[in-house]
């Protein structure tokens, strides 16, 4: 039995009809709307922004957030499946969705005022508005607590100074969720596009996530109304709470990328002949395929379990760290094996492999590097924090 399917352990049977229908619908969308043009987007370094509205119409932005704010109010497993399918297309479109859903809409929903929620969430859910999340700074990545960006209260406004680096959607965002220190405490602020003193600069020369916008955000005496503070945000816990949601989705997404690489590899192994045989008949090639399928299966099970725990209210951020760390590193290994298996074709954008492989380098790093998640688990296991 030669199978290209990535559902080796019949994990589909662990999903509800509704979950499968969402997965299949998003898969259809990605097959028809993302995959045919994404290599060009990647080559031209263009983000397919026209797909944002379509995702909005499909109701797959902010999937877990409540219906009263124009969101579907769905489960974490459904959210995960959406991310998996989007990243089966490209990490860029999945990044857009995770940032908008988990890093922009979630904090507005969780830490925002009623007016902020009513004002922003429905438009963001429909894809009519775009948001970004500014936590990382050029000199503070893994250690965001060291951030230099400051907010100072001045009458009925806050004045922001500082800069943020590597910010997904920065140049296309209508609203930035910016994390800055106010009297020494990390707080979240909503900064609208066009606010004087706020500029976004496109980061060029990226060799990864080329179909996604990444920017530097600069704040120079940027004055925002006092009501743009996210009132319920307080401390580093707040941005980390958002990251937990996004990272969870990244675990599914990276697995989607790995599935794309594996499926392409199985096809290639059967079609490509060398030494008068399909390369799939060589033991070394079979070894690669067997390892790929095993790791994909393991990641699917881990992701699904973490999702179910989240839906049951038993999820912990350490679970997310395990899933993110595992899925991104295995996906990267799988992409590299797929690259090798495709020979010279593996370096060409005519095949999806090098694009996924390069994308996964970012996915491995952002939202907590692989090593940082290892350390989070190390802390969990030993009780000893090894970060500092």
Partner 1 sequence: MDILVCMKQVPDTETKIVINPEGTGIVTDGIKYVMNPYDEFAVEEALKIKEKMGGTVTIVSMGPQRATEAIRTALAMGADKGVHLCDDAFEGADSYSTAKALAAAIKPLSYDIILGGKQAVDHDNAQVYAALAELLDISHVSIVTQLDVAEDGKSAVAQREVEGGAREVIEVSLPAFIACQKGLNEPRYASLPGIMKAKKKPIDVIDLAKSGLSADEVGEKGAKLKIRKFFLPPEREAGKILEGEPEELATQLVKLLREEAKAI
Ligand X SMILES: Cc1cc2nc3c(=O)[nH]c(=O)nc-3n(C[C@H](O)[C@H](O)[C@H](O)COP(=O)(O)OP(=O)(O)OC[C@H]3O[C@@H](n4cnc5c(N)ncnc54)[C@H](O)[C@@H]3O)c2cc1C
Reduced to 3 states, what is the DSSP secondary structure of residue 55?
Answer: helix
Token representation of residue 192: 């609208």
Closest-CA residue to 266 (of 3, 62, 8, 13): 3
Is 367 known to be catalytic? yes
Q: Which candidate in 87, 137, 263, 367 is catalytic?
A: 367
Report in angstroms how near the CB of residue 329 gets to ligand X at its nearest: 12
User: Could you identify the residue written with the tokens 């106010």?
Assistant: 182
134 binds, among partner 1, ligand X, none (CB under 5 to 8 A by kind): ligand X
C-alpha 235 chain-centroid distance: 23
Reduced to 3 states, what is the DSSP secondary structure of residue 165?
Answer: strand
For residue 343, count other CB atoms closer than 10 A to its CB.
12
Report in angstroms how near the CB of residue 57 gets to partner 1 at its nearest: 7
Burial of 240 (0-12, 13-18, 19+ CB in 10 A): middle
Count interface residues toward ligand X (CB under 6 A).
Answer: 33
Report in angstroms how near the CB of residue 310 gets to ligand X at its nearest: 21
Burial of 241 (0-12, 13-18, 19+ CB in 10 A): middle
* Cβ-based nearer residue to ligand X, 55 or 375: 375
Residues binding partner 1 (CB under 8 A)? 17-18, 21-22, 25, 28-29, 54, 57-60, 63, 67, 72-74, 78, 82
Query: Judged by CB under 6 A, does residue 371 bind ligand X?
Result: yes
Query: Judged by CB under 6 A, does residue 341 bind ligand X?
Result: yes
Reduced to 3 states, what is the DSSP secondary structure of residue 16?
Answer: coil
Partners of 140 in beta bridges: 137
From the list 76, 106, 133, 351, which residue makes contact with ligand X (rule: CB under 6 A)?
A: 133
Query: First and final CA of the chain: distance in angstroms?
Result: 51
Closest-CA residue to 92 (of 255, 172, 211): 211
Only segment of 52-60, 248-256, 302-310, 364-372 that touches ligand X (CB under 6 A) = 364-372
22 binds, among partner 1, ligand X, none (CB under 5 to 8 A by kind): partner 1
DSSP state of 202: E
Report in angstroms how near the CB of residue 260 gets to partner 1 at its nearest: 16
Residues 178-237 that bind ligand X (CB under 6 A): 209, 214
From the list 48, 107, 112, 134, which residue makes contact with ligand X (rule: CB under 6 A)?
A: 134
Cα separation, 182 vs 190, in Å, equals 14
Residues 257-276 that bind ligand X (CB under 6 A): 272, 274-275
292 binds, among partner 1, ligand X, none (CB under 5 to 8 A by kind): none
Element (H, E) at 95: helix 91-98
Site string for ligand X, 26-55 (x = CB under 6 A): ------------------------------
Q: What is the CA radius of gyration of the chain?
A: 21
Query: Judged by CB under 6 A, does residue 99 bind ligand X?
Result: yes
63 binds, among ligand X, partner 1, none (CB under 5 to 8 A by kind): partner 1
Side-chain-facing half-sphere of 126: CA atoms under 13 Å: 8
Query: Judged by CB under 6 A, does residue 333 bind ligand X?
Result: no
Binding site for ligand X (CB under 6 A): 99, 133-136, 141-142, 166-168, 209, 214, 272, 274-275, 279, 282, 284-285, 340-341, 343-344, 347, 362, 365-367, 369, 371-372, 375, 387
- The residues assigned a catalytic role are 367
């Amino acid at each position: 039995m030669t199978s290209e399917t990535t559902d080796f352990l019949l994990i589909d049977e662990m999903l509800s009809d509704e979950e499968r229908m969402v997965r299949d619908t998003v898969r259809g969308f990605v097959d028809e709307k993302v995959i045919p043009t994404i290599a060009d987007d990647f080559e031209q370094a263009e983000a397919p922004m026209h797909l944002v509205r379509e995702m909005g119409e499909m109701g797959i932005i902010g999937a877990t957030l409540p219906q009263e704010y124009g969101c579907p109010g769905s489960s974490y497993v459904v959210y995960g499946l959406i991310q998996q399918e989007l990243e089966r297309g490209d990490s860029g479109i999945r990044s857009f969705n995770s940032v908008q859903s988990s890093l922009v809409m979630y904090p507005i929903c969780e830490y925002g005022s009623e007016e902020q929620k009513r004002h922003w969430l429905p438009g963001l859910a429909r894809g009519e508005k775009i948001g970004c999340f500014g936590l990382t700074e050029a000199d503070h990545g893994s250690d965001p607590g060291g951030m230099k960006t400051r907010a100072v209260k001045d009458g009925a406004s806050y004045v922001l100074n500082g800069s943020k680096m590597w910010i997904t959607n920065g140049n296309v965002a209508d609203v930035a969720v910016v994390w800055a220190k106010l009297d020494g405490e990390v707080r979240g602020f909503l900064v609208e596009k066009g606010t004087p003193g706020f500029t976004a600069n496109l980061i060029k020369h990226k060799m990864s996530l080329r179909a996604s916008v990444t920017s530097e955000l600069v704040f120079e005496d940027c004055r925002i109304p006092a009501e743009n503070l996210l009132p319920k945000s307080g401390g580093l816990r707040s941005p980390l709470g958002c990251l937990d949601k996004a990272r969870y989705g990244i675990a599914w997404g990276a697995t989607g990328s790995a599935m794309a690489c594996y499926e392409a590899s199985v096809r290639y192994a059967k079609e490509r002949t060398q030494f008068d045989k399909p390369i799939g008949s060589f033991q070394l090639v079979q070894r690669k395929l067997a390892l790929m399928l095993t790791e994909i299966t393991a990641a699917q099970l881990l992701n699904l379990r973490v999702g179910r725990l989240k839906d049951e209210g038993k999820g912990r951020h350490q679970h997310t760290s395990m899933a993110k760390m595992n899925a991104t590193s295995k996906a990267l290994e799988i992409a590299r094996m797929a690259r090798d298996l495709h020979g010279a074709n593996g370096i060409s954008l005519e095949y999806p492999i090098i694009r996924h492989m390069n994308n996964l380098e970012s996915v491995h790093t952002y939202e907590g590097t692989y090593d940082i998640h290892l350390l989070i688990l190390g802390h969990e296991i030993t009780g000893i924090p090894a970060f500092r």
